[in-house]
Structures are given as structure tokens and as C-alpha cells.
A and B are shown apart, each in its own frame.
Chain A
Amino acid sequence: MIPVFLLLWIGSAVLLVREKRAVRLIIILGVYSLISAVCFFLLAAPDIAMAEVVVSAFSTILFIVCFEKYYSNVAPDRKPRRKARAGSRLIPLAFTVILAAAVILLIPEQAPPTYLKDLYMSRFSGEIGGENAVTAIYLGYRMYDTLFEALMLLVSIVAVVHLSHHDDEAVSVETPSGVSDSNIVGVTIRVLCPVLLLLSVYLVANGHISPGGGFHGGVVAAAFFVCRYMIYGITDMRINNVLVMEKIVYLVIVVFSVYFIILGAHSYLPIPKGIFLTVMNLLLGIKVACGFFIVFYRFIAFERR
């Protein structure tokens, strides 16, 4: 089963690299991400597969918005392409093949050590709590990683906001996007909206005992707000409040995790261990949802300038 999907995966990557037209490129990228998610699932990583599915849907939306702008900006009469010389494709190909062969030859023969895996698997339930070893690691044993990841998210959102400067006033009086003109899409989105919110609450609340967690729930919640935007427009949302809220939530995450994990309050306070994981997942979910919604909003606002 795994080799079949790996072959499909390689094939979709080759298709993607050979594709010339931007529309097909975006669709093949979505297919490639979906096959990657199936591979993750077959490699016994349902957490990663779920994250990949929700995230690839989001990045496909970003690509489509970007594509729309690409065609609204680029002049239709493009100059004819230069004729490619014979060596211009062959030299990079040979270079890549040699590099790949060298790296494949460098793969170590023996399997990596399983010392940490055995340690974590035997102790995570008693020390951190919950049933999901992945959540226990990224919220307990490797809290620093998660803190700096959240910081990276914050920084990249600052970068997106900085690079896409626009006039706030001009956007806030815009009408909703043209999607709600279509009856089918409007009704479907209205039906889907509560389901998305329920799914995100489920993912966050059950993150410590089943696949899921704050990251997944946060992206699904951002999808809920995207749907809400498609129905009602952005007239009733104050984006600056979301920006401030994201930073405050990050501060709360830092304080909370320093108090519990690094100062060790987790081991002597008489609260159930699942509560800590759920609260952390909730905070991370709020932060990720704010971040992704800001990214989407900036893309849309950028589009309608």
C-alpha cells in the first residue's frame, strides 16, 4: 500500500514541475498535498495527515487569490518566449541527478536509535497526561519548540501585514465578495459554517486523547471565519482587534507554559493533567485562528484595492 502511494506522490511531483499553466499548477499542487496527506496517514502519523489536509486547503485558497491578482495585473500581450538552448535543460537535470544520487548513497544503513521513543512512550501518560503521545511531546517535553514555532507564526504574520500595506478605510466600506451572488455556493457555505465551528471545537477539546489539537482546530476555525467573510463581508470585523488579540494570546501562552512546564507547577498543583493540555490547545487554537484569518484578510484586502 505504501509503495503505491509513494509512486503516485512522485508522479504528481513530476507533473507539477512539468506543468506550464498556472491554473493547472495550483490544482495539481492541491492533489499533491492530498497524496502527501495519505502517505502521512499510512506512515502511522494521523496527526500530521490531518494538519496537512486542513493546511493545504488553506494554502490552495491563498494560491487562488494570488492567481486572480496575477491575471488582473499581467498584460495579456506577453512577449514571445526565448528559444531554449539544448544545454539549458540538460545541465540542471544532470546536476540534480548527481546531487540526488550522492544524497541517496549517504543514507545510513542502520535504523536510528529508539532510546527517546521508548522513554517517551513509557512515561508520557503519567508525566504529561493525555493519550496522544504527539500532543504530550509538543506541549510537554518539547515546549520550547512550540513556543518558538508560535513566535515564527507571529513574525511571518507581521511580515505579511508589512508587505501588504493598504488603506484600511477603503476596505471596510466594501461590499461582500461576489461569491454570495451564487445561490448554490451561498447556501452550501451557510450549511457548512456551523459544522466547521463544531469540528474545530471538537479538534481542540479532544486534542490530547485523539488525533488533532490546537493547530488543526485553529486552522479549521480560521476556515469558519473565511466562510463567514464570504457570506457577510468584512464590514463587521475589526481587524486591528484581531491583531492585538493574537499578540496577547501569545503572551498568555508564554506565561502559562513557563509557569507550568519550566517552573514545574504541573507536577504539584492538584489539577487533572488533561486540563493543562486542553487549555494549552485552546490558547494555541485561538492564536493560530487569529493568525490565519489575518493572513487571509490581508490577501483579500490586497486584492480589492
Chain B
Amino acid sequence: MAIAQIVEISSIIVFFIGFYGLITSRNIIKSIASITIMEMAVIVFFLGLGFLDGMNPPIGAAVENAADPLPQALVLTAIIIGVTVTAVNLTMLISLTRQIKSTDWDNVKNTSSE
């Protein structure tokens, strides 16, 4: 099996591990961590597209057998966006815990129905 396929399949597996954590966890902190897992999996999938064993980083004008620089430039911005998404999520969590005094999704449901 080619290395690109191994990378793609394992990144899809990790993406769905994060998905499972997102739909089953009761703890809100774990849900936020699951979103981070899914982001990393997408990034690895992008980097694995078209990757061949023994490729060099795309640095230097005359580098031979370089990896594709386009997905790298695209996911570089996605990483910075990812951490700000985490920050917004955590801020919302802090405001929420001030009101419901808990980090359990069940209590969120109870509060909103009242």
C-alpha cells in the first residue's frame, strides 16, 4: 500500500474518532477537544494527498522531489483559525459555567427548558 493511502485512511479514522467523541461526550471540555482532533485529522489528510516516500520540504528554489506546497499554504492559515475557534469555544464555555455551574451537556438542556 502506498504511503499516501496509509496517511489518508488513518486521518479519516482519527477524524471519525473525534466525531464519535463529539456525539457521545457529556463533558463540554471533551467536546471542544474533539473538535481539535477533527481539525488535526483534516490537516493530515490534506498533507497526505499525493505524498510519496522520500519527498523533501518545498524550501529552496532548486529542491528536487519536493512535496506539494499548495496544501501546506492552505492549512497553515487553518491552524491559526483552529486555535481561535478553540478560544471562542472556551469563552462560551466559561460564560455558560457561570450560569449553570456545571460542564455537563445534560444540565444545559435542563436549564434551557425552564
User: Which A positions have Cβ atoms within 8 angstroms of B?
Assistant: 2-3, 6-7, 9-10, 13-14, 16-17, 19-20, 22, 25-26, 29, 32-33, 36, 39-40, 43-48, 51-52, 55-56, 58-59, 62-63, 66-67, 69-70, 73-75, 78, 81-82, 89, 92-93, 95-97, 99-100, 103-104, 107, 111-112, 114, 116-117, 120-121, 124-125, 131-134, 136-138, 142, 145-146, 149, 152-153, 156-157, 159-160, 163-164, 209-211, 213, 215, 219, 288, 291, 295, 298-299, 302
> Closest CB-CB distance, A211 to chain B, in whole Å?
7
Establish whether residues A74 and B24, one from each chain, have CB atoms under 8 Å apart when the complex forms: no
Chain B residues bordering chain A, tally (CB within 8 A):
78
The B interface, classified by DSSP as helix, strand, loop or mixed, is helix
Chain A residues contacting B80 (CB-CB under 8 Å) are: 51, 55, 149, 153, 215, 219, 288
Q: Residue B95 at the A interface, CB < 8 A?
A: yes
Residue in B23, B57, B88 whose CB lies within 8 Å of A46 = B57
What is the total of A-B residue contacts with beta carbons within 8 Å? 256
A96-B14 Cα distance, complex, nearest whole Å? 11
User: Which B positions have Cβ atoms within 8 angstroms of A?
Assistant: 3-10, 12-21, 23-27, 29-30, 33-34, 36-37, 40, 43-44, 47-51, 55-61, 63, 66-70, 72-77, 79-88, 90-95, 97-98, 101-103, 106
Establish whether residues A17 and B51, one from each chain, have CB atoms under 8 Å apart when the complex forms: no
Residue in A9, A59, A219 whose CB lies within 8 Å of B36 = A59
Residue in A2, A111, A211, A291 whose CB lies within 8 Å of B6 = A2
A97-B67 Cα distance, complex, nearest whole Å? 31
A103-B86 Cα distance, complex, nearest whole Å? 26
Residue in B49, B72, B103 whose CB lies within 8 Å of A74 = B103
A137-B47 in contact given A44-B67, A96-B20 (Cβ < 8 Å) = no
Establish whether residues B76 and A51, one from each chain, have CB atoms under 8 Å apart when the complex forms: yes
